[in-house]
C-alpha cells in the first residue's frame, strides 16, 4: 500500500498551474513579523469553478535541523460559484491566494500544500534564512 507522501506532486509553478507559489523574503530578522503569501496559478491560471477548483491551502514551517514541521495555517477555500440555480452561477467565488504574517526564531523551510479537487495534492518549499 502506498503512503501519503507518494501521492504529493511537485512541479515548477512557472510551468504547472497546480504548484503552490510561496512569496516571502529570503532572509528575515529573528522574532520580527514578515509577510508570506501562498497562491496557485501565478504564472498559469488555475480554474476556479464548481467542477475544478483549489479546495484548501496549508502552510508549514520546518526549522533547520528539525525533524518535525509546525503548521502555520490551514485555509479552506469554500466558494466556487455553486448555487441552488446550478454550478458556477453562485454569487461568490474565493480566489486561491492567502496571506499571513509570520515570525521565526531560527532559519528553516516554509512548505505549502494545496489540494485540487481533481488533481490532488501539490507541494512547494521556500528556504528562509536569518539576517
Q: Is 80 a catalytic residue?
A: no
Catalytic residue among 23, 93, 119, 127: 119
Beta strands across the sheet bearing 21-23: 21-23, 34-39, 97-102
Catalytic residue among 14, 29, 52, 70: 52
Q: Is 74 a catalytic residue?
A: no
Alpha-carbon gap, residue 114 to 101, rounded angstroms: 19
Contact 120, 55 (CB under 8 A): no
Q: Is 116 a catalytic residue?
A: yes
Catalytic residue among 80, 116, 123, 126: 116
Alpha-carbon gap, residue 79 to 94, rounded angstroms: 5
Catalytic residue among 18, 80, 96, 126: 18
Catalytic residues: 16-18, 46, 52, 116, 119
Amino acid at each position: 500500500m502506498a503512503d501519503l507522501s507518494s501521492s504529493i506532486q511537485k512541479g515548477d509553478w512557472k510551468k504547472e498551474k497546480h504548484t503552490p507559489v510561496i512569496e516571502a523574503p529570503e532572509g528575515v530578522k529573528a522574532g520580527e513579523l514578515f509577510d508570506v503569501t501562498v497562491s496557485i496559478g501565478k504564472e498559469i491560471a488555475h480554474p476556479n469553478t464548481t467542477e475544478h477548483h483549489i479546495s484548501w491551502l496549508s502552510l508549514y514551517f520546518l526549522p533547520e535541523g528539525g525533524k518535525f514541521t509546525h503548521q502555520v495555517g490551514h485555509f479552506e477555500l469554500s466558494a466556487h460559484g455553486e448555487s441552488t440555480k446550478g454550478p458556477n452561477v453562485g454569487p461568490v467565488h474565493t480566489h486561491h491566494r492567502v496571506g499571513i504574517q509570520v515570525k521565526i526564531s531560527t532559519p528553516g523551510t516554509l512548505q505549502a500544500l494545496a489540494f485540487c479537487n481533481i488533481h490532488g495534492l501539490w507541494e512547494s518549499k521556500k528556504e528562509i534564512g536569518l539576517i
